[in-house]
Structure 1
Amino acid sequence: MKKFLFLILTTVVYSYANAQALSKRLDSLFNGQFTAGQINGNVLVADHGKVIYKKSFGYADIANKILNTDHSAFFLASVSKTITSTAVLQLVQKKKIQLNEPYKKYFPNFPYADVTIKNLLSHTSGLPRDMEDVFDTVLKVQPQKKFGYHDIIPALQQYPKPLAFKPGDQYSYSNINYNLLALLVEKTSNMPFDAYLKKYIFTPAGMTETYLSSPQLPQKSDVTHRYLYPKHYSPHLKLTDSIPEIANIYKNYTIFWGQGNVISTTTDLLKFDQALYNNKLVSAKILDEAFKPTILNNKQEVVAGGGVSYGLGWFILKVKPSEKIVLHTGAIQGLRSVFIRNLTKQQTVIILDNAQSGTNFITASNAISILDNTPQEKVKISVADKYAKILFESGSDVAASRLIQMQADTVHYRYSAHEMDFIANELLNDSYTDKALEALKVNLLLNPTNPDMYNSYGKALNKAGKKTEAILIYKRALKLKPDNKEAQEALSKLEKDSSHN
């Protein structure tokens, strides 16, 4: 008996110590990302449904210095598609619909007879990607009209293009697919989409802090504001609602449920995760189908890029063939979301970020690696991005000294000549000509044998009115690459203009 109790006590102590060690390593990972400015939001890591790490980083409201907390709610963006998929699969389980049925069976006015429900779920329909593509034709005639997802089928009837490919021939990610699926849920359940989700998904899963956003429903106070850097060189985050270009994109659009628009918390997403594991929402048999790579007409698996395939509402990670890992990511202006589920080991990682941090998927993957005690992928900060921000805010001397430091620190930073060139041209296009010239000059000095860098620098010198210097730069570009057409044309024009003066 004493030996038995000793074994139990030893197991408990070991498990506790292991959990503490994991928590410490996870904290080091996420704190490192926060220090590097690569996360602003909430994270949760769970093993078999038990939370082993949970933390909030940064601000929900920068202007009023309101921190993110456990109760901060975030737009899920395309992670919402996992919920839409679950709703559709419930209707399949109830035998109200079948996956291989044509969508047109339920919506006779839908103009593409060969598109099936499964094509929509798996992004193999050939439909356009976004609402802007669908409504472009109508907006040319009615530029002030407002549209919602109920207007998609009438708009598709006026859409001037055929499908991009025969349904089932290819994979092409499309938000329109999931808008149409929301309509299908409404049609076959005789319920509004938000009411259906609340009754059949959110309530059974215990997701008390989750709901669909709507212009008719006041947004709750715990929903985080969304922020981004308007340009790569912008030194400070800005509220997305304050950026005119973003407001202009959505001025003609209202509700587009199905593709996104779910608001939730990390705690509620874990409840959804556990409800799926426990088959509270859909049977294991149907979920197994959702978690398999879709097979195209040519009998090949869908390749969604980046080492992933796509099932029915879920990406399937292919780089660890011995483990079944499904996931979805989401991105809208000012927000990034990641939801990873290792089904083999029942591990879950959730990141909801309201500052559009670009490395969250790698960070979430590294959290899984910590749980598995496998090597992590090094997340390196872009030298070009940091340099441009410092240049814009503090000037060329400070930026140059920091650039030297960052280049030397290859453990934490990565330098790309093309990234630097892109950001410098962004400065040039926005009429920050002096700053663009400085960035392009530095980039050229670091890459003296790259003709593309000479082309960019020559273009900036020409725009700044420094014609003589531009001619010299283009001549050097042609010495490096005699068939450089861009340099040839620019030099010919500059020399011609000079001869006329």
Structure 2
Amino acid sequence: MNFIKKTNILHIFLLLVILSSCAKEKKKVELNDAQLPKSTLPKMKPLSKPEPKLTAAYINSKKLEIDSFYKKNWPNNSANGSFLVAKNGQIIYEKYEGYANFRDKIEITKTTPLHLASVSKVITATAILKLVNAKRIELDQKVNTILKEFPYPDVTIKTLLNHRSGMRNYAYFTDRDKTVWDRHNILTNQDILTIMATKDIGLEFKTDTRFSYCNTNYAMLALIVEKITKLPFKEAMKQIIFDPLGMKNTYVFDYDKDKDSAVTSYKGNKVEIGKDYLDAVYGDKNIYSTPRDLLKFDRARSSANFLTPALQAMVYKGYSNERKGTKNYGLGIRMVNWETGQNFYFHNGWWHGNTSSYITLRKEGVTIIALSNKFTRKTYDVRKLAVLFGDYPFKLRDE
């Protein structure tokens, strides 16, 4: 009997050890976005595995060609901003030139956050997509089910993301009629929503009948982020994207706190451009960052655990097919789709004197970033560098 009792006790002890071990292993399993508790925000994750290492010979050969392009595009050190080219997350070439503030001679460095202008839309879209992935919201959900005073019943989150909502640009309807808005007052995202709800601002066209790029879409998406997360947009972005990816030099501009400390914007002739009544609106613009931080962001978006495969495919699908052509727009990303089957994904930006270009060559694992706070269209020419990495029909050099 004693032997049987001892055997049973041993069996029970072993069973408890096994159950305890299983429980610990279960805790180690990462929850996907949809399994997160409702009080927990979905978070971006860096790539879990290192990407293939580039050889020194490969880096040096590309560096020579990029340097030649850089010197031709911005001769005599005429650039005023930051520039980076990387493959597999490894920096091949980077350059930081000019001044964040000409008056005080504050130089631009690798840690200087510059205004991303409309490249901010890619980041705003990313936060929305993570919330969709976590099933907090749905792509086809009507906006008026989240923002109760939103006046356009057919507009969905998806038609905000792909610019098919039909809404008018807030910069126009607040500028042309003083009865709509007094430009002596700083405009906010909530003000835009209230104006549309109370001032009879009609749609430009019926929702989802055509594409029209419109900043109002992304100002509303920022309000949706706030409503769903119950956090200010700048804090929600920190928790969902910036902090998890270690984007230490990236932030959402806060007009009251940052207007005197943010990097100054200039015309091409170095004349300072001051702030105006539109500078407090965020989501469509007003994220400041660096190329190195954007590289972290880009590689995280290439990760298998960024979104479900089905949702990821929807991001890079073109939705503006009313007219035959190569230019298109996905969910927060611009694209060029050639008949050869080659696709080019990017987003440009322009606000005041700030210009920006974000290029992600998805097949080749290449990231190209150019930012400037002194107005120049040369920022957009960095797309030509795609020919160094894949079969893209751009001309690197003028013939």
TM-score, scaled to structure 1: 0.64
Letter of the 2:265 counterpart = R
Runs of 4+ in 1 over 6 A off after TM superposition: none
Which residue in the other structure is 1:60 paired with?
Answer: 100
Structure-2 change in CA distance of 1:146 and 1:239 (3 Å): closer
Post-superposition Cα deviations, 1:217-247, rounded to whole Å, max 9, x if no partner, equal 24696x5322113xxxxxx321112xxxxx5
Larger CA deviation: 277-286 vs 327-336: 277-286
Deviation at 1:159, TM superposition (A): 3.6
Deviation at 1:129, TM superposition (A): 1.9
Counterpart Cα distance in 2 of 1:172 and 1:67:
38
Letter of the 2:196 counterpart = L
Structure-2 change in CA distance of 1:374 and 1:272 (3 Å): closer
Correspondent of 2:366 among 347, 354, 367: 347
Which residue in the other structure is 1:199 paired with?
Answer: 239
Counterpart Cα distance in 2 of 1:340 and 1:161:
35
Which residue in the other structure is 1:332 paired with?
Answer: 351
Are 2:174 and 2:181, in contact at CA under 8 Å, matched by a contact in 1? no
Residue 271 (structure 1) aligned with residue 304 (structure 2): no
Counterpart Cα distance in 1 of 2:65 and 2:340:
25
Structure-2 change in CA distance of 1:27 and 1:83 (3 Å): same
Greater relative CO (CA pairs within 8 A, separation 6+): 2
Post-superposition Cα deviations, 1:163-211, rounded to whole Å, max 9, x if no partner, equal 1111111110110000011111111121111111000111112211111
Correspondent of 2:89 among 49, 68, 87: 49
Greater helix proportion: 1
Which residue in the other structure is 1:155 paired with?
Answer: 195
Deviation at 1:135, TM superposition (A): 6.2
Which residue in the other structure is 1:228 paired with?
Answer: 267
Which residue in the other structure is 2:315 paired with?
Answer: 290
Structure-2 change in CA distance of 1:210 and 1:304 (3 Å): farther
Deviation at 1:270, TM superposition (A): 0.2
Which residue in the other structure is 1:190 paired with?
Answer: 230
Are 1:38 and 1:360, in contact at CA under 8 Å, matched by a contact in 2? no
Give SS of 2:281's match.
Answer: coil
Matches within 5 A, 1:88-99: 88-99=128-139
Counterpart Cα distance in 2 of 1:102 and 1:161:
18
Post-superposition Cα deviations, 1:404-460, rounded to whole Å, max 9, x if no partner, equal xxxxxxx7xxxxxxxxxxxxxxxxxxxxxxxxxxxxxxxxxxxxxxxxxxxxxxxxx
What is the RMSD computed on CA atoms of the aligned residues? 2.6
Counterpart Cα distance in 2 of 1:65 and 1:280:
43
Are 2:364 and 2:390, in contact at CA under 8 Å, matched by a contact in 1? no
Correspondent of 2:273 among 231, 235, 240: 240
- Paired residues in the alignment total 347
Counterpart Cα distance in 1 of 2:371 and 2:308:
28
TM-score, scaled to structure 2: 0.80
Give SS of 1:337's match.
Answer: strand
Deviation at 1:279, TM superposition (A): 4.3
Matches within 5 A, 1:167-178: 167-178=207-218
Post-superposition Cα deviations, 1:17-55, rounded to whole Å, max 9, x if no partner, equal 232111011001011112177632111101111111111
Are 1:44 and 1:55, in contact at CA under 8 Å, matched by a contact in 2? yes
Q: Please, which runs of 5 or more residues in structure 1 have no aligned partner?
A: 1-11, 230-235, 242-246, 296-300, 381-410, 412-501
Matches within 5 A, 1:476-495: none
Give SS of 1:204's match.
Answer: coil
Which residue in the other structure is 2:386 paired with?
Answer: 368
Which residue in the other structure is 2:159 paired with?
Answer: 119
Letter of the 1:367 counterpart = L
Counterpart Cα distance in 1 of 2:180 and 2:201:
16
Residue 107 (structure 1) aligned with residue 147 (structure 2): yes
Q: Please, which runs of 5 or more residues in structure 2 have no aligned partner?
A: 1-52
Structure-2 change in CA distance of 1:353 and 1:320 (3 Å): farther
Letter of the 1:239 counterpart = E
Letter of the 1:359 counterpart = K
